[in-house]
């Protein structure tokens, strides 16, 4: 009987230890979820921002422009007509050099400007020295246009690796990716562009559109998308404002 009693006490102690350990583990993960996730973690892990705070009521409409003369102005007119004055335009500096009047219109309408480097090339396939050279050339071009202190970078072609992120950090850029790709440049049809965005969009999303000449249907898709955002209680803000919140979601590249 005494042997059974001792065994029973030991068993109870083991159960208590297991319960305490389980509670401690659960508490740890709960606290981890409460901690804000910074753009770059303290251990210098390299991150690309693809989403803002999902607890907000904000999204960010972003537009890439790398070539063309015809689609940017109609898209700007559509945004203005629909009350959007705080989108973010990522520009290739080589395009901006050739279209200073459109760049000025973007700024005049209140939109934010981010960099896509100088030439529209795949950074993930370039040497580090070539990436740096392209970014410096872009900075010089933007400064000549009166655009200084750019803080946002979107990788041309949307492809990047750890080297690209490390270089962006050295240039004091935050690399902004996206959580929803409208694929508008493929011109799948206005209804398909609208459906692809509207069925997925939620608070915190960074939505990718294009204002280059390849995007022939974006102008007609935007009004319905903007209306849908408002019907869900979502408001558009510049990408820098969306990701300024410490709850921004980032994706690590190993």
List pLDDT tens digits, range 122-180: 999 999 999 999 999 999 999 999 998 899 999 998 899 999 999 999 999 999 999 99
Per residue in 202-220, pLDDT (tens digit) is 999 999 999 999 999 999 9
User: Are both 159 and 202 inside the same structural domain?
Assistant: yes
Residue 107 lies in a domain: yes
**Do residue 31 and residue 74 come from a single domain?**
no
Which has the closest alpha carbon to 138: 158, 120, 126? 120
Q: Tell me what pLDDT residue 44 has.
A: 52
Contact 46/163 with Cβ under 8 angstroms?
no
Q: Are residues 31 and 100 in the same domain?
A: no
Across-strand partners of 164? none
- Are residues 29 and 117 part of one domain? no
Total domains in the fold of the chain: 2
Orientation angle between helical segments 218-231 and 190-198, nearest 10 degrees: 30
- Label residue 250 by pLDDT band (50, 70, 90): low
The two tokens of residue 55 are: 């607890």
Q: Is residue 170 part of a domain?
A: yes
Tens of pLDDT, residue by residue over 21-71, are 443 333 333 332 322 233 333 335 678 999 999 999 999 999 999 999 999
- What integer pLDDT is reported at residue 45 of this predicted model? 65
One domain, residues 28 and 78: no
Whether residue 108 sits in one domain with residue 4:
no
pTM here?
0.80
CATH number at residue 225: 3.20.20.370
Higher pLDDT, 233 or 37: 233
Which domain range does residue 15 map to? 1-35
The two structure tokens encoding residue 78: 């559509």
Q: Are residues 79 and 141 in the same domain?
A: yes
Instruction: Please report whether residue 42 resides in a domain.
Output: no
Residue among 122, 116, 70 at smallest CA distance from 96 = 116
Give dist(CA 102, CA 122) in Å, integer: 25
Does residue 40 belong to any structural domain of this protein? no
Same domain, 126 and 196: yes
Answer yes or no: is 158 within a domain: yes
Q: Is residue 41 part of a domain?
A: no
Statement to judge: residues 91 and 131 lie in one domain: yes
Q: Is residue 157 assigned to a domain? A: yes
Question: Do 92 and 28 sit in the same domain of this protein?
Answer: no
Check whether residue 28 and residue 135 sit in a common domain.
no
114 and 64 in a common domain: yes
Query: CA-CA distance, 114 to 175, in Å (whole number)?
Result: 10
Please indicate, yes or no, if residue 189 is contained in any of the structural domains: yes
Q: Could you tell me where the DSSP H helices lie in 153-199?
A: 162-170, 190-198
């Amino acid at each position: 009987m005494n042997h059974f009693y001792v065994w029973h006490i030991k068993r109870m102690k083991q159960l208590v230890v297991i319960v305490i350990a389980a509670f401690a583990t659960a508490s740890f993960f709960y606290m981890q979820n409460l901690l804000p996730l910074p753009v770059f973690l303290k251990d210098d892990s390299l991150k690309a921002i693809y989403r803002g705070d999902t607890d907000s009521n904000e999204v960010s409409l972003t537009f890439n422009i790398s070539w063309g003369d015809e689609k940017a102005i109609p898209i700007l007119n559509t945004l203005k007509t629909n009350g959007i004055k705080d989108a973010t335009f990522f520009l290739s500096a080589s395009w901006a050099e050739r279209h200073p009047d459109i760049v000025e219109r973007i700024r005049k309408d209140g939109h934010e400007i981010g960099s896509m480097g100088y030439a529209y090339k795949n950074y993930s396939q370039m040497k580090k020295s070539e990436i740096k050279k392209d970014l410096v050339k872009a900075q010089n071009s933007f400064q000549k246009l009166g655009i200084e202190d750019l803080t946002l970078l979107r990788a041309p072609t949307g492809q990047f690796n750890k080297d690209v992120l490390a270089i962006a950090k050295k240039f004091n850029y935050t690399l902004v990716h996206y959580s929803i790709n409208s694929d508008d440049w493929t011109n799948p049809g206005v209804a398909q562009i609208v459906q692809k965005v509207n069925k997925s969009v939620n608070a915190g999303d960074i939505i990718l559109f294009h204002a280059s000449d390849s995007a022939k249907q974006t102008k007609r898709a935007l009004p319905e998308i903007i209306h849908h955002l408002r019907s869900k209680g979502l408001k558009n803000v510049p990408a820098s404002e969306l990701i300024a919140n410490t709850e921004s979601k980032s994706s690590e590249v190993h």
